Amino acid sequence: MSILLDARDVTKRYGLLTALDGVSLRVSDGEFVSIIGPNGAGKTTLINVLSGLAPPTSGRVSFRGHDIVAAGPVALGRLGLARSFQLVNVFPALTVGETIAVAVTARLRRGRRFWSPLSGDRAIARIVDDVAGVFGLADRLTRPARTLPQGDKKLLDVASAFALGPELILLDEPTSGVSTADKHAIMEVLVDAAQRLGIKAIVQVEHDMDIVFGYSQRIVALHQGRVLADTTPAGIRADAAVVATVLGKPVA
């Protein structure tokens, strides 16, 4: 397997607070990696560093061998790395189709043409239709994005990240804020979409342990900004110290 993302000895400080303390993470083609840990462990900070939203205080981050510390999210998207967010902030004035088109426009480097009707650019419209179909949003393309239920807003956020055409996608709490019944449905759509759209690897931050153990190939446990464990789901289950520190109770 080829290495896509390689973070080495990443430290991130905010004044006197050390959010990440020498974290290393390597993600290869074909992997689904979940990052877990209690609140304040550094999970979202790590995703922010990996996606270019927060430069590390020290350490190295590379994607496909390219140093991406100062690249920024737009350049990372063009390199093949994209992310979704824990808190979904849809464009209130845009429809579902137009929201996806924003990402497609960035992918195709079409300037501000996403403000024009989708029918005016067949290449954009075709990709929007394909992505919306994969995520079950094809019948809502003309619906204002702000009117979607929370579960569909999460799917739209992820769909927009997928529309960038990345090789690796970073997901920050992809099932947060939705009902338990909807969580597995969202994950099934997400995994299917990754296979159909050619996503080579997924890294997610997730609190729901049923989701983590149900879909991950590797689990990285963070505690107080450090990597406590980086192993398989079976390895996490078998490590009593990790279970007690990170999860607080045995895993079912």
Domains of the chain: 3-83+160-173+198-247 (3.40.50.300)
What pLDDT does 111 receive? 57
What pTM does this model have?
A: 0.87
What pLDDT does 85 receive? 62
What pLDDT does 24 receive? 97
What pLDDT does 250 receive? 61
What pLDDT does 114 receive? 46
Q: What is the 3-state secondary structure (H, E, C) of the chain?
A: CCEEEEEEEEEEEECCEEEEEEEEEEEECCCEEEEECCCCCCHHHHHHHHCCCCCCCEEEEEECCEECCCCHHHHHHHHCEEECCCCCCCCCCCEHHHHHHHHHHHHHCCCCHHHCCHHHCHHHHHHHHHHHHHCCCHHHCCCEHHHCCHHHHHHHHHHHHHCCCCCEEEEECCCCCCCHHHHHHHHHHHHHHHHHHCCCEEEEECCCHHHHHHHCCEEEEEECCEEEEEECHHHHHHCHHHHHHHHCCCCC
Residues of the chain with pLDDT under 70: 85-90, 110-120, 249-252
What pLDDT does 150 receive? 81
